[in-house]
Structure 1
Amino acid sequence: MSTAPQPQPGTGTTGPEPALVGIVLVSHSGQVAQSVADLARGLAGGGAIAPVAAAGGTPDGGLGTSSDLIVQAAREVDRGAGVAVLVDLGSAVLTVKALLAEGDELPDGARLVDAPFVEGAVAAVVTASAGGGLDAVEAAASEAYGYRKT
């Protein structure tokens, strides 16, 4: 049996996987959350992609937000470098704030990020995939408010 380090999937390098910031995308619609996650992953390009999870809708597939789905998604993407949570609308903000206030549901280092949902998600995933820390991911996502389209 070989004890030599093995290449890590998607990195082309040996050794432990890098601790990348995880991204959770919370939408009132499961389809919207998943589509934005897919778009952000696709635009992040090649190489290692930061862990991204969609937490959209309710457990039965309806419209709304679910604290259980948000907690599950945050735990899924947590690699120890923090978790950036981006949300679409008002009650999603309230749900995440309540989870953060409880203090024991979301992983340590989970943070609600004030950013536009689509553009912020892309900026967050690109920055996290490049190895940016939680502060850099939050800054990049928040800066998306300034993207001009004209």
Structure 2
Amino acid sequence: MVGLVVVSHSAKAAEGICEVAAQMASNARIEPAGGDEAGLGTSVDRITAAIEAADDGEGVVVLVDLGSAVMNAELAIEMSEGVEARIADAPVLEAAVNAAVESTSKKATLDSVVAAAEEARDYRKLN
């Protein structure tokens, strides 16, 4: 199963996003990677550990919130030896829900999970 990692500057936010996504897809492999040693921020080591924990050999989709989360996720992907991982360019909560649901499909691939996550870019909340 394609794994998911939620990267946020807040540990609570990452855990909460994982919790919401798991409500829609309870069997999904979702790992939070939020905060850093000082509290708010992102940590390459935490992201790397989450990527490795989420991987079962089918790849990992990384969902990020802001700025340095992207940079640190890119570094973590480079450091995760033997893991195929990609960052989805999408809003983190909506993308996490879409990706979690898609990842539980028997036909899910890394590409299909990234595509499902990135579909969330077009969602409108109001008409």
Change (3 A) 1:107 1:116: farther
Change (3 A) 1:136 1:21: same
Tell me the SS of whatever aligns to 2:7.
strand
Q: How many residues align?
A: 125
1:35 maps to 2:12: no
Alignment of 1:74-113 (within 5 A): 74-100=51-77, 103-105=78-80, 107-113=82-88
Residue aligning to 1:115: 90
- Name the amino acid aligned to 1:36: I
Residue aligning to 1:9: none
Deviation by residue 1:26-49 (Cα, 9 ceiling, x = unmatched): 00000000000000000225xxx1
Change (3 A) 1:107 1:90: farther
1:21 maps to 2:20: no
Deviation at 1:94, TM superposition (A): 0.9
Tell me the SS of whatever aligns to 1:72.
helix
Flag the structure with larger Rg. 1
- Name the amino acid aligned to 1:23: L
Deviation at 1:99, TM superposition (A): 2.9
Provide the rounded CA distance (Å) in 2 between the counterparts of 1:50 and 1:26.
16
Alpha-carbon RMSD: 1.4
TM-score normalised per structure 2: 0.92
Residue aligning to 2:47: 70
- Name the amino acid aligned to 1:25: V
Provide the rounded CA distance (Å) in 2 between the counterparts of 1:50 and 1:107.
21
Residue aligning to 2:25: 44
Deviation at 1:106, TM superposition (A): 5.1
Change (3 A) 1:120 1:106: farther
Would you say the 8 A contact 1:71–1:106 is kept in 2? no
Unmatched 5+ stretches in structure 2: none
TM-score normalised per structure 1: 0.78
Residue aligning to 2:32: 54
- Name the amino acid aligned to 2:16: S
Unmatched 5+ stretches in structure 1: 1-19
When you count helix as a share of all residues, which structure comes out higher?
2
Provide the rounded CA distance (Å) in 2 between the counterparts of 1:66 and 1:116.
20
Residue aligning to 1:134: 110
